């Protein structure tokens, strides 16, 4: 110790080493209260650092990582249950209950909020945001690199882009500034809704769908294989007749609910359907 006290510079280095780890320690009791942050957390963090995920994480209808979430403690996003978990980091969505978020922040808990992804770049943003928050920047970079590697190249302008309509329950259809619309475009399709000037999620009447005669009808189904059947359009004879003469693609709902790398599976499924169609046409 006498040698150290005579060398202030060496003492300073020693103190920095001793105290640097606690100062920059990664959060070890992470709680996610949003389905989309659940999945990014499970992709990026060691399991022992995950204190709790939302109750939706194990629901196969909406969660692409329901199997990975089995065994993790679940929460319903209520402030009182979150406080009992003593988290050192909370991951939430920008649409998570505002009173809950306000209270948690007021009590001094660190809360990171993710905005919904409406394009492909926003997926990269979400990965970086969660990776930085939990101290796993390198894993985040690797996840983004792998995501980029699997993205298709749609630079071939010699082949026509087929027109596709994403037709959901109650005649909803996503246009520009939606994740599913971005998935469709990335897979090499022209989105009928966007071409009709729909931004966000809008309505597409059955009459308009039949009139426009898209090359593809894209539908979503629940993760357990069941179809979303709300509304009468799917049972209408005109819709059935249209699907007999048009290509139909079924995408599992959980593949494009959240802005994370899981959407690549939906993109690749659509690319395969497009390439098959282009070989014929």
Q: List, for residues 26-80, the tens digit of each pLDDT value.
A: 999 999 999 999 999 999 999 999 999 999 999 999 999 999 999 999 999 999 9
Is pLDDT at 139 greater than 60 in this prediction?
A: yes
Cβ-contact 40, 99 below 8 angstroms: no
pLDDT of residue 20: 47
Determine the average pLDDT of the residues in 115-124.
Answer: 96
Superfamily of domain 30-150: Nitrogenase molybdenum iron protein domain (3.40.50.1980)
DSSP E strand boundaries for the chain? 30-32, 50-54, 74-75, 89-93, 111-114, 163-166, 172-174, 190-191, 201-203, 216-221, 247-252
DSSP 209: H
Closest among 199, 174, 138, 193 to 266, alpha carbons compared: 174
What is the DSSP secondary structure assignment for residue 160, as one 8-state letter? P
Higher pLDDT: 211 or 8? It is 211
CATH number of the 163-280 domain: 3.40.50.1980
Per mean pLDDT, which range of 77-81, 103-107, 166-170, 190-194 is the poorest? 166-170
pLDDT value for 153: 83
Reduced to 3 DSSP states, what percent helix, strand and coil does the chain have, rounded to the nearest 5?
50, 15, 35
Summarised one tens digit per residue, pLDDT across range 201-218 is 999 999 999 999 999 999
Q: Are 187 and 274 in contact (CB under 8 A)?
A: yes
The pLDDT tens digits of the residues spanning 232-278 come to 567 788 888 888 899 999 999 999 999 999 999 999 999 999 999 99
- Write out pLDDT tens, residues 159-178: 789 999 999 988 999 999 99
H or E segment to which residue 5 belongs: helix 2-5
CA 30 to CA 42: how far, in whole Å?
11
pLDDT at position 156 over 90: no
| Token pair of 222 as six digits | 């629940």
Helix (H, G, I), strand (E, B) or coil at 36: helix
Residue-level pLDDT at 15: 55
The CATH 3.40.50.1980 domain(s) of the chain lie at 30-150, 163-280
188: alpha, beta or left? (left if phi > 0; alpha if psi -120 to 50):
left
What percent of the chain has pLDDT above 90? 76
How, if at all, do strands 89-93 and 190-191 pair?
A: unpaired
The residues with which 248 forms a beta bridge, in sequence order, are 217
**Which residues make Cβ contacts (< 8 Å) with residue 24, sequence separation at least 6?**
135
3 state SS of 199: strand
Which band of pLDDT confidence, cut at 50, 70 and 90, is reported for residue 11? low
How many residues appear in the chain? 281
- Asked whether 218 and 251 are in contact (CB, 8 A), the reply is yes
Among candidate residues 198, 199, 200, 223, the one with its CA nearest the CA of residue 208: 198
**Mean pLDDT value across residues 14-18:** 53
pLDDT of 14 reads 55
Give residue 224's pLDDT: 46
């Amino acid at each position: 110790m006498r040698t150290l006290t005579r060398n202030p510079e060496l003492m300073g280095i020693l103190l920095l080493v001793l105290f640097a780890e606690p100062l920059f320690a990664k959060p070890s009791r992470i709680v996610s209260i949003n389905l989309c942050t659940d999945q990014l957390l499970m992709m990026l963090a060691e399991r022992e650092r995950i204190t709790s995920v939302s109750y939706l994480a194990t629901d196969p209808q909406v969660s692409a990582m329901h199997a990975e979430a089995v065994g993790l403690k679940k929460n319903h996003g209520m402030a009182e249950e979150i406080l009992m978990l003593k988290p050192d980091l909370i991951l939430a969505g920008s649409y998570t209950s505002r009173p809950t978020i306000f209270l948690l922040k007021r009590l001094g808990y660190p809360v990171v909020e993710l905005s919904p992804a409406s394009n492909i770049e926003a997926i990269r943003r979400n990965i970086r945001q969660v990776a930085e928050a939990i101290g796993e920047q390198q894993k985040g970079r690797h996840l983004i690199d792998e995501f980029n590697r699997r993205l298709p190249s749609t630079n071939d302008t010699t082949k026509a882009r087929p027109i596709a309509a994403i037709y959901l329950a109650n005649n909803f259809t996503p246009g520009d500034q939606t994740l599913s619309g971005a998935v469709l475009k990335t897979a090499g399709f022209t989105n009928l809704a966007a071409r009709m000037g729909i931004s966000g999620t809008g309505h597409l009447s059955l009459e308009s769908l039949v009139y426009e005669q898209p090359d593809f009808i894209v539908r979503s189904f629940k993760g357990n294989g069941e179809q979303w059947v709300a509304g009468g359009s799917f049972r209408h004879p005109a819709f059935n007749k249209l699907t007999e003469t048009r290509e139909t693609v079924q995408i599992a709902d959980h593949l494009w609910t959240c802005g994370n790398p899981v959407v690549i599976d939906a993109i690749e499924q659509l690319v395969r359907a497009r390439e098959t169609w282009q070989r014929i046409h």
